[in-house]
Chains A and B, each alone.
Chain A
């Protein structure tokens, strides 16, 4: 809906990779792994953990819905959702390729991408596994 959100998202990821590289001075593969893991933590928390809205006058209608479930009014597989599902996968491909599939980083990256992709599947709409995060 808003122009440039996708581009901004991609640019934020790219610039955070550069930031990590310049701050830690590590290998580029490690930097991509760090970006991937940071992206995992942040997007999981904000898309799939936090529920409800910051507005008080909708009377708690969305109190049990995570932000991913509220996106586009609950409509599944819209353009936004497809884009946001593709981003972790692309990040995973870049991160695992640049670390040359070495072991501790590959494992963490795979966990990150699996959790994120599964959480974004349309079959998982309003599903709470083992009742985790089911409260309002």
Chain B
């Protein structure tokens, strides 16, 4: 009713005006019986112009070819852009090259160094039994499998490996992928589609981020490893939201975060998942074969029954010292991926010798569970020795085999931080023959966690290795970071 009144008033006013105009007495100059006002001239002119234009025919403007002079001018002006942009000043591309196997001791630039840069947690690189099984497999099957799993690329060692892993973990079935990181970024889009909700930790590594991006779902990040933040995010997403009941909801976490060394508190996550009815996708690349009494991963470590976790993925390039990855869960989970997972269907299958290496590695782990306690004591020793490093502090979990050192006081810009850490790593390598790496991130990585030095502890490291590393690090960081305490 409020809107109607002004409209009624307006139309009444217009009508009154129009009738007034018709009834107004003629008060101006009269030429041939028509009174002239200034505005009539302008209007008349406009109408004349418009009517003239409206009566013209349409035409295409003539195409004038460029004259020789214009062509020359344009060619001189043109500056081609380079096909690939020049590399910026600070980006160092000379990474050290390994000249032998990436075991606890390796050869870099002709010198033997202690290697803390390879995720060889169980020391299986160069293990006799594994090499023997690889050689046997190579002699029997050759190198490649020459086909995807669905098109004559399935070999019995693949099925053996899948059965072995499933039996080891206690799940009904598992599925193998041919490249470590493509596991997680094929599994996530196989289950999460456009319109679903994913709650992910903000510190997940690039492969997980890629999977989240490929899934086209709505992704909400929660604060890194902060269960209160996770709980409030889940609450916010589900409270009062009837639509949330009907769409699929997932939580994506890593067991040991590659970007920080933290361990996800699985018991808390499972409790939240059951309260808010989400599904959990757990990325276990760095905890499979490391955590738990017998190396069965995060679920064993926390005593959570394995059936409560919906999807577990892991790359086998770390503890198992082979390549490829696997995903396990219930029968439906694994079965769905055999037709719907891009990395499984559209890539050639895992080379058979790598699958038999994985089987031997899991056998080794089953027969020698004591390697885990050796690994834990190595990690504890490293923590103790590095606890008083000048300028650096350990920010990873005490049980994590990735020991993450970050700057105690950041310089404020990530590039200068990276420069400092790279300088430390270079000097440690050159002066003391210890090979360490920083956590360089690619340009596509959107993780905002601080960078640092990542040390991968292996069972093969001796006490002297660890003390050599700590002595060297303390010395070098004291001199490099002397302005930054």
Contact = CB atoms under 8 A, between A and B. Distances in A.
B464 to A, nearest CB: 59
B213 to A, nearest CB: 20
Contacts of A92: 46
Contacts of B223: none
A96 interface: yes
A78 B6 CA distance: 40
A21 B6 contact: yes
- Tell me if B's interface is mostly helix, strand, loop or mixed: helix
A12 interface: no
A76 B60 CA distance: 6
A92 B43 CA distance: 9
B47 to A, nearest CB: 7
Interface string B190-225: 000000000000000000000000000000000000
B79 interface: no
A77 to B, nearest CB: 4
Contacts of A122: 53, 56, 61
A75 B58 contact: yes
B381 interface: no
A99 B49 CA distance: 23
Interface residues of B, number: 24
A28 B6 CA distance: 10
Interface residues of A, number: 32
User: What is the predominant secondary structure among interface residues of chain A facing chain B?
Assistant: helix
A130 B358 CA distance: 74
B6 A22 contact: yes
Contacts of A98: 14, 17
A101 B37 CA distance: 10
22 contacts: A21-B7, A22-B6, A28-B14, A74-B60, A74-B61, A75-B58, A76-B60, A77-B53, A77-B56, A77-B58, A81-B58, A85-B53, A89-B50, A93-B43, A93-B46, A96-B39, A98-B14, A101-B38, A117-B50, A121-B53, A122-B56, A125-B61
Given A18-B7, A82-B54, 15 more contacts: A27-B13, A28-B14, A73-B60, A74-B60, A75-B59, A76-B60, A77-B56, A81-B58, A86-B50, A89-B46, A92-B46, A93-B43, A106-B39, A121-B53, A122-B61
Interface of A: 18, 21-22, 25, 27-28, 31, 73-79, 81-82, 85-86, 89, 92-93, 96, 98, 100-101, 106, 110, 113, 117, 121-122, 125
